[in-house]
Structure 1
Amino acid sequence: MQFLRRSLVGIFLFALTLALFAWAGNTVRLAVNERMNAEPRSFPQRERVLSVNVVTVTPKTIAPELVVFGELSSANTFALRALSSGTVLEVSPNFADGGRVLEGELIVKIDPRDAQSARDRIAADLRDAEAELRDADRALTLEQDEVAAAEQQAVLRQQALTRQNDLAARGVGTAAAIETAELALSGANQAVLSRRQVLAQAQARLDQAATRLDRARLNLEDADRVVADTEVFAPFSGTLSDVSITQGVRVTSNEHLGDLVENDKLEVSFRLSTAQYARLTGADGRLGNADVIISLDAQDLRLEAAGQITRESANVGDGQTGRLLFARLDSTAGLRAGDFVTVTVTEPDLRGVAMVPSTAIGSNSSALLLAEGNRLEEIPVEVLRRQGDDVIIRAPSLYGQQVVVERSPLLGAGIAVLPIDPNAEAEAPEPTEMITLDPERRARLIEFVEGSRMPPPAKTRTLGQLEQDEVPADVVNRLEERMGT
């Protein structure tokens, strides 16, 4: 009996175990079928909104600027040369490289003895010429008297001949007397001609003496100039450079002594492209007196000077392009000829244009307009100038509107964005709504955050907010939207 009872109990337990396995298998099958037949769980999808910086396009009048490089040079440079040969006797204490001299200061004095001797000989020749002129003048006066006397003698001979003819007409004269009177008159006329010839020679001698006197005076002036050329004076105030002589050396005529540079009158030469040059010319094609500003950066020091364009080169130059321009500077404090400087040229004003960052304009000359609903719209613009990191554009359809400051491959027409205007006044943030969570809702949200793929810093911050008595409503709404509740 005991064996039968135990057998029946074992059979019963075995049947019960089979029943439980069958019930468990059926439960798993039903769960799998339900899971497979259930609709997939989905979360509401939100459009991605990118934050972008925007700027307002404001039309105004802008004077564009051209930035090029140029070189300073003196507008007044004088080459000092020895105008006469000789030994250098004196030099100015300032006669050295970098020495500054004043206008009219004696720089170099050359031994004047040879020039002075030549000048004295020419002065003696001048006195001889003056004496010759006086002698010729006296000789001319005497010859004029001789001619007057000969003419008077001829008049007397003519009167004698007339008297002999009258006597012959009355029958008291003889032919021999008449012939003698005629011969005497002929001799008197011949004497007059001779004295006139001598008078002409005296007049020629006087003219030659006057010419020699003028030539002697010119020679004396040249000699005086040669003597004066033994002293070299500064034609203007400036600084010396390339000084090549010292006291005691012998120089030849036209030998280079040094250069005198006027640093107070500098000009800058710079080259522009043909397109840049065309923008500076007026309607008549002539170059105007555009303003320029030159700057020289030396570590923490910045030297600046203003000026105006004065002229342009007549030709382009071998192997060069564009146009070479020159500008005269108003002030040159601290600047020197030969400095390599930055030149900023102010162009004529452009009216009705706007300046925006260069990153706001795409390679196809278009800008992204912030249209209605904070969606982007691509608008073509006309790029007029580039000014460093900015561009000057003309786009009447954008005036008063906002455009994206920084273009990126993620931005395009139709994209929704969150505009951020750095120049706009900061608005006071609206107070955040706080709500109180019941324990079940709080536990469900905490469980979702712990099982999510949030970055650790964001997860820690969100859990800290959920553990508070009051939780921001926007945080709760955002989490519940992700949970699909």
Structure 2
Amino acid sequence: MRFLARGLIGLMLFAATFAAIGFGVYRVVESVSRDEVRRRPPVQERSYSVNVAKLTAEDVAPTTVVYGQIRSWRKLEVRASSEGRLVEVDEDFRDGQAVKEGDLLVKIDPADAKSGLLDAKAALADADSQKAEAEEAVIAAEQELEATRKQLDLRRQSLDRQRQLLKKGYATMVQVEQEELSLAAMEQSLSNRMQSIITARKRIGRMDLTVERADNVLRDAERTLEETEIRAPFSGTLDQVNATLGRRVSTNDALAVLIDSTALEASFTLSTSEFSRFLDDQGKLIHAPVTVELDLGGKSIKVSGHLERAAAVVAEGDAGRQMFASLTVEAGTILRPGDFVTVRLQEPELTQVARVPAAAINAAGELLTLDDEQRLVIVQAKLLRRLGDEVLLADVPFGTTYVSERLPQLGPGLKVAPRGTEDTQDVPSREGGRRPVAAVSDTSSAGQQMVALEAPRRDELISKVNRRNMPAERKTEILQMLNRPMVPQSLIDRLESGGRGQPG
């Protein structure tokens, strides 16, 4: 029993010893953990610095930018109207030369035209003479008809006397028959005279046509003579000139092309969606203002105009519409048909839209906005237009702050630090004033607050470091930290308080 008691006592002492050792180990571990927790800074939620702006409603008249070519809607092919030799060519009859209305361009040898004019005048005079003869023949035929009628009356009276004498027995039947034959012959003569008058009058009608034809030939001859001198019908610029002195030309030979430099228009193509922007409620084309710009390297020429019409047909394989804009240009303009130009068309005004940078939305048209806790919220916007580096949006919450530059790591629910003109903070300067400093943008794993400095304040801190006497390696390290986008707040505090600016 004594052995058992001693064994139990030893076992209890052994257990007590192990319990004491375990308690001591627990207190040491707890003490070490408490010291580590005390030295470890509190964990803060990481936030991203973002550029923000306000969604404001405005009325915008977008501009559609396309490329096109200049063309002239008024051209004239200068052609030879008659055959002959070029006896005169104006010194201004050259490619690219500007001419005025009525200027003499070339002259064809007029000898043949003058000869034709003389023949036409002679033919007209002959026709007039024959017409006069026909008119005089009608007068003579009418006089002969009148004389024949008188003779016919006398023959009738003589026949009546012979019949009366026959009844009284003083005349014979032979005498009566002779008078009847004479009367019949006179009636035949009267009929012939009437037919002669009809023929003479018809001849006058034919001679009228002859005179008219001769007159037309005369006018043609005069026009042919006049057209031996080819003059500019309107002011313009010459192109494709093909005329030399002494060259023999045939009728309708091309000599040049005259282009009206003031009758210019721009031809360009709009896609179907762009074309629909320039239709009114009735589906008719609106006369939208147009600006055409010709880039000449260091100088550009701008001309205004308006949208005028669309092409009559759509070419096979093409999409959209070919459009034409009428331009307002003055004489002597530098624009030429064939110039490749930039065309800007002013669209109808869009009301209650937001203009934001194109980097603020993604391909799906989603916009990141900030809630009251500075966390990101996705807003689905309606994309109306893309205007270079900007876009126009509708159906957005106006007055809300949005992220103006969407970064790949940003997503809904993340906490951000806004950076912008509306979200800058004021911190006291050493002179007692207030200096704008961007909001805290990030918290490093070591617990250091990182801030973005304004350019004036960054330059001031760099100047302080350069004036200080410190090792070159340390000065270089501090300057590198100051030139980074985000600078530790502790380094800024040391430099502004006058301490040694050692990087923490």
Do they fold alike, i.e. is TM over 0.5? Answer: yes
1:146 match: secondary structure: helix
Alignment of 1:228-267 (within 5 A): 228-267=226-265
In structure 2, how many angstroms separate the alpha carbons of the residues matched to 1:468 and 1:346? 54
The match for 2:43 among 30, 42, 45 is 45
Alignment of 1:18-417 (within 5 A): 34-35=28-29, 38-39=32-33, 41=37, 42-168=40-166, 174-331=172-329, 333-395=333-395, 397-417=396-416
Q: Letter of the 1:274 partner, please give it.
A: T
Shift of the 342–101 alpha-carbon distance from structure 1 to 2, 3 Å rule, reads: same
2:419 pairs with 1:420 = yes
Identity percentage of aligned residues: 35
CA drift of 1:60 comes to: 2.0
CA drift of 1:213 comes to: 0.9
- Which stretch has the larger CA shift, 43-52 or 335-344? 43-52
In structure 1, how many angstroms separate the alpha carbons of the residues matched to 2:497 and 2:144? 151
CA drift of 1:421 comes to: 2.7
Contact 1:369 1:398 in 2 (8 A): no
In structure 2, how many angstroms separate the alpha carbons of the residues matched to 1:468 and 1:311? 69
Contact 2:68 2:266 in 1 (8 A): yes
In structure 2, how many angstroms separate the alpha carbons of the residues matched to 1:168 and 1:289? 106
- Structure 1, unmatched stretches of 5+, are 1-26, 435-447, 480-485
CA drift of 1:175 comes to: 3.6
Give the aligned partner of residue 437 of structure 1: none
In structure 2, how many angstroms separate the alpha carbons of the residues matched to 1:466 and 1:398? 44
Contact 1:60 1:352 in 2 (8 A): yes
Q: Letter of the 1:366 partner, please give it.
A: E
1:263 match: secondary structure: coil
Contact 1:107 1:232 in 2 (8 A): yes
Contact 1:359 1:407 in 2 (8 A): yes
1:145 match: secondary structure: helix
CA drift of 1:464 comes to: 8.7
2:277 match: secondary structure: helix
Shift of the 468–168 alpha-carbon distance from structure 1 to 2, 3 Å rule, reads: closer
In structure 1, how many angstroms separate the alpha carbons of the residues matched to 2:207 and 2:491? 127
Contact 2:307 2:326 in 1 (8 A): yes
- Which stretch has the larger CA shift, 80-89 or 197-206? 197-206
Contact 1:87 1:111 in 2 (8 A): yes
- TM normalised by structure 2 equals 0.78
CA drift of 1:255 comes to: 0.7
CA drift of 1:167 comes to: 4.6
Q: Letter of the 1:304 partner, please give it.
A: K
1:280 match: secondary structure: coil
- Structure 2, unmatched stretches of 5+, are 1-20, 433-445, 448-473, 482-486
Query: What is the Cα-based RMSD across aligned positions, in Å?
Result: 3.2
Contact 2:289 2:304 in 1 (8 A): yes
In structure 2, how many angstroms separate the alpha carbons of the residues matched to 1:228 and 1:174? 81
In structure 1, how many angstroms separate the alpha carbons of the residues matched to 2:495 and 2:178? 171
Contact 2:268 2:323 in 1 (8 A): yes
Q: Letter of the 2:145 partner, please give it.
A: V
Encode CA deviations 1:300-359: one digit per residue, 9 max, x unaligned.
211101101122111112432211111111125322221100001111122222221111
Give the aligned partner of residue 443 of structure 1: none
Q: How many positions carry a matched residue from both structures?
A: 429
Contact 2:430 2:496 in 1 (8 A): no
